[in-house]
Structure formats: structure tokens, C-alpha cells
Structure 1
């Protein structure tokens, strides 16, 4: 499974997804997200940042590895198919699963839309990178 993975594309796609999170949860939606989860900047700083950011990158890498493997198994599909699959993963799998959890845990609609927007952009960013490398 891992022999067919384009490791440069995989790591760069994971990095792009990770960077989308930094932008989304920073200047774009950071204040709204903190309000929706009920945390202050001081409370956020008290977390183990190496574990949080390191873990987030590892999870991004796992998602990117599986996308890369799937694209290879599909015979390196054209760019538009890569994007349809990448964004479709967010719309068809990640966001509904997350939404179900948010419903049962009584999380706010605002938090759902903030997080759903992130996952949509995360998978789109990874698709852009994978699609670029497949087209080369």
C-alpha cells in the first residue's frame, strides 16, 4: 500500500491542509471558534502545543496518505476527478460524521459550520496538491 504513495505530494498535501487550519482557526475564524467552544486565548495556551500541533499534522498526514493511495489505485485520475473525490470525502463522509456527533453532544450550529468549513477547505487544499502532482 505505501509503496505506491507519492511521498512528496503526500507530505506537501498534509502540510497544505495543516496550514489551512492555521489560517482558518487563526485570523479567519479564530475568535468565533473560541467563542463557540467557550475557550479563551489563555486557556488555549495552556495546552500541550507540541502534542496538539504534532498530532494534528500526523492526522493530516494519515488522510493524505489514504488519498494518495486511492488516487494511485484509480490510475492517477484527472485533476477534476481528484478535486471531486477530495471535496466529496469532506461532504460525504467527514462533515456528516462530525454533524452527527455535534447533534448528540448538543454543540452549537455555529461551531458545526466553522468546523465543517474547515474540513471542506482542508480536503480541497489536499486535493489541489495531489491533483497538481498527478498532472505532472
Structure 2
């Protein structure tokens, strides 16, 4: 891999993970549960170690690949780093989940909640790579 900052990768992954905690917690947690048809009791029955552990692992994978991509460009401006980071969400993640929601008949509201999360997830990781990368 290109010269990666492992500290930036870990902090970026944690930042993305933290965005999820805020986004699906106090900001849009109740709306997300309603759109998904979950009750609080049903969510409490989940395997939290598996769910949060896997979500953190996926965040680390995303941060590794974003960091790897950014490292190949060499020195970049903060604007370029943020454009690439957010561009990944806008160009790849949002259309992919949008396609899934179209075929699974997901609501526009649920799509907006999840798409907004991924935009902020990649923006947060990009900001960390600007600061620490």
C-alpha cells in the first residue's frame, strides 16, 4: 500500500463510527426505527457485541481503503481530500443503497436517513485525513 497513516485510519474509523452513534441515536434513531418497523424492545434483543463489533470492523475497512486511495494522490489540499471523500459517498454508496431501496420498496424517508449518514460518515473520515493524514 502507499504510505498510510495508521493513526489517521483508526481515528477516521472511530469518527465514522461515532457519526453513526449520533445519527442513529439522538438525531434520527426514532425515525429510523419507525421506518424499519422496529420497536426499542426488539432492538434490545440484538447481539450488541456482534453488531457493534462488525460495524466498527467495517468502518476500519472503509478507512483503510479511503486512506489507501488518498495516499496514492500524494499531497492534496483539504478541499480535494473532502471532495474525494464525500464524492465516494455521493458517487458509489448513495446510488448503491438507493438502488437497493428501490427494489426492496424502502421509503424515501429511510433512504434519506441512511444516505445522509453515509455522506457524513465519509465527510468525517475525510476531515480526519485532512487533519492527520
Q: Same fold (TM over 0.5)?
A: yes
Q: CA deviation at 1:71?
A: 1.1
Q: Distance in 2 between matches of 1:46 and 1:76?
A: 47
Cα RMSD after superposing both structures: 0.9
Q: CA deviation at 1:47?
A: 0.6
Q: Distance in 1 between matches of 2:51 and 2:91?
A: 26
1:118 is matched with which residue?
117
Query: Could you tell me the TM-score, scaled by structure 1's length?
Result: 0.95
**Does residue 18 of structure 2 align to residue 19 of structure 1?**
yes
Unaligned runs of 5+ in 1: none
| Matched residue SS, 2:59 | helix
Give 1:21-40 correspondences, 5 Å limit: 21-40=20-39
**Does residue 60 of structure 2 align to residue 61 of structure 1?**
yes
**Does residue 41 of structure 2 align to residue 42 of structure 1?**
yes
2:72 is matched with which residue?
73
Q: Would you say how many aligned residue pairs link Structure 1 and Structure 2?
A: 133
Q: Distance in 2 between matches of 1:71 and 1:77?
A: 8
Q: Distance in 2 between matches of 1:108 and 1:72?
A: 37
Query: Could you tell me the TM-score, scaled by structure 2's length?
Result: 0.97
Q: CA deviation at 1:53?
A: 0.3
2:88 is matched with which residue?
89
Q: CA deviation at 1:77?
A: 1.5
